[in-house]
């Protein structure tokens, strides 16, 4: 009988709650949610942030850590980069920004293995993992290799994004990872002239789908150019504007996830 790939699962010593931030579709705000969630979780314990987007790492730039390099210590262990009190690892620290990582599956699996086994994460209450879009090798490798506490699914409100979010949810369900809930990003926008809510993307069947699946909508993050600007500047919105609507929404998200078992 073929070996069950999930038998390879091994906890990361010292690391408690591993939260995967995922989506089906690209560009819906996973990395934005992962960075801000990590920053907001500092209130509840020690936090690590792993960029599992091997082909499109965004976290070094978003966390203002572009020119940092992780140090290799004795026994070929990798010391993570620390930024805003968060231990971080990303392939972006190892390759030049703008150059492509041209790896096939086996290399990719090896890199993921190193991220989990050779990085000295130390004692962490939370490890937030920013996944690439879709339901491919990296996502599978994650759920096979480490016991993930839960997945936070990010989607924008419209059906085009929801269709892909459903695939991500299906993948986690089939591999036995709990869906902690969904973050609706770019949920609406406040018109700066009138202060009225505007629907930037049409509301699709998100709420009825979540109801039917008994999945919690954890929070709604409005579209706000400040969110994007903050990430571009390397000071995510939770750090730059902790008491704004978005900062508070991310803090509320962290509080809910910290309280969940």
Ligand X SMILES: Nc1ncnc2c1ncn2[C@@H]1O[C@H](COP(=O)(O)OP(=O)(O)OP(=O)(O)O)[C@@H](O)[C@H]1O
Residues that bind ligand X (CB under 6 A): 23, 26-32, 53, 56, 58, 132-133, 185-186, 221, 223-225, 227-228, 231
Q: Nearer to ligand X by C-beta: 76 or 195?
A: 195
Q: Nearer to Mg ion by C-beta: 187 or 231?
A: 231
The entry of Mg ion, ligand X, none that residue 60 binds, CB within 5 to 8 Å by partner kind: none
Give yes or no for residue 185 binding Mg ion (CB under 5 A): no
Stretch that binds Mg ion, among 22-30, 85-93, 152-160, 234-242 (CB under 5 A): 22-30
Q: Could you tell me the end-to-end alpha-carbon distance of the chain, in angstroms, rounded to an integer?
A: 35
| One of 31, 185, 187, 224 touching Mg ion (CB under 5 A) | 31
Minimum CB distance to Mg ion, residue 13 (Å): 27
Strand spans (E) along 37-116: 47-51, 71-73, 77-79, 81-83, 86-90
Give yes or no for residue 58 binding Mg ion (CB under 5 A): yes
Site for Mg ion in 119-148 (CB under 5 A): none
In eight-state DSSP terms, residue 25 is S
Taking residue 255's Cβ as centre, other Cβ atoms within 10 Å add up to 14
The entry of Mg ion, ligand X, none that residue 47 binds, CB within 5 to 8 Å by partner kind: none
- Helices marked H in 45-154: 59-62, 105-117, 137-145
The entry of ligand X, Mg ion, none that residue 231 binds, CB within 5 to 8 Å by partner kind: ligand X
The entry of Mg ion, ligand X, none that residue 227 binds, CB within 5 to 8 Å by partner kind: ligand X
Q: 206 by DSSP, 3-state: which?
A: helix
User: Looking at beta carbons, which pairs linking 102-106 to residues 24 or more positions away fall under 8 Å?
Assistant: 103/54, 105/137
Minimum CB distance to ligand X, residue 71 (Å): 27
Q: Nearer to ligand X by C-beta: 173 or 232?
A: 232
The CA–CA distances, whole Å, from 114 to 8, 131, 185 equal: 15, 16, 31
**Side-chain-side CA neighbours of residue 170 (13 Å):** 11
Q: Nearer to ligand X by C-beta: 27 or 85?
A: 27
């Amino acid at each position: 009988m073929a070996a069950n790939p999930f038998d390879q699962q091994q906890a990361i010593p010292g690391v408690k709650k591993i939260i995967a931030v995922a989506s089906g579709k690209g560009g819906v705000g996973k990395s934005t949610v992962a960075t801000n969630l990590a920053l907001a979780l500092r209130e509840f314990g020690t936090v690590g942030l792993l960029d599992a987007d091997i082909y499109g790492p965004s976290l070094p730039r978003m966390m203002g850590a572009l020119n940092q390099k992780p140090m290799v210590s004795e026994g070929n262990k990798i010391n993570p980069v620390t930024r805003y009190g968060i231990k971080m690892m990303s392939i972006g620290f190892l390759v030049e920004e703008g150059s492509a990582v041209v790896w096939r599956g086996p290399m990719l699996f090896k890199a993921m293995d190193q991220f989990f086994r050779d990085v000295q994460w130390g004692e962490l209450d939370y490890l937030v993992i920013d996944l690439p879009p879709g339901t491919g090798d990296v996502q599978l490798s994650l759920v096979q290799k480490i016991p993930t506490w839960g997945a936070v699914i990010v989607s924008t409100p419209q059906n085009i994004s929801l269709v892909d979010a459903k695939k991500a949810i299906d993948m986690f369900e089939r591999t036995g990872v709990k869906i902690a809930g969904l973050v609706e990003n770019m949920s609406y926008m406040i018109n700066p002239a009138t202060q009225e809510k505007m629907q930037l993307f049409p509301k699709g069947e998100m709420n009825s789908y979540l109801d039917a699946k008994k999945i919690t909508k954890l929070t709604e993050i409005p579209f706000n150019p400040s969110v994007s600007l903050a990430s571009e500047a390397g000071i995510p919105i939770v750090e730059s504007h902790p008491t704004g609507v978005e900062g508070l929404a991310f803090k509320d998200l962290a509080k809910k996830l910290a309280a969940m078992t």
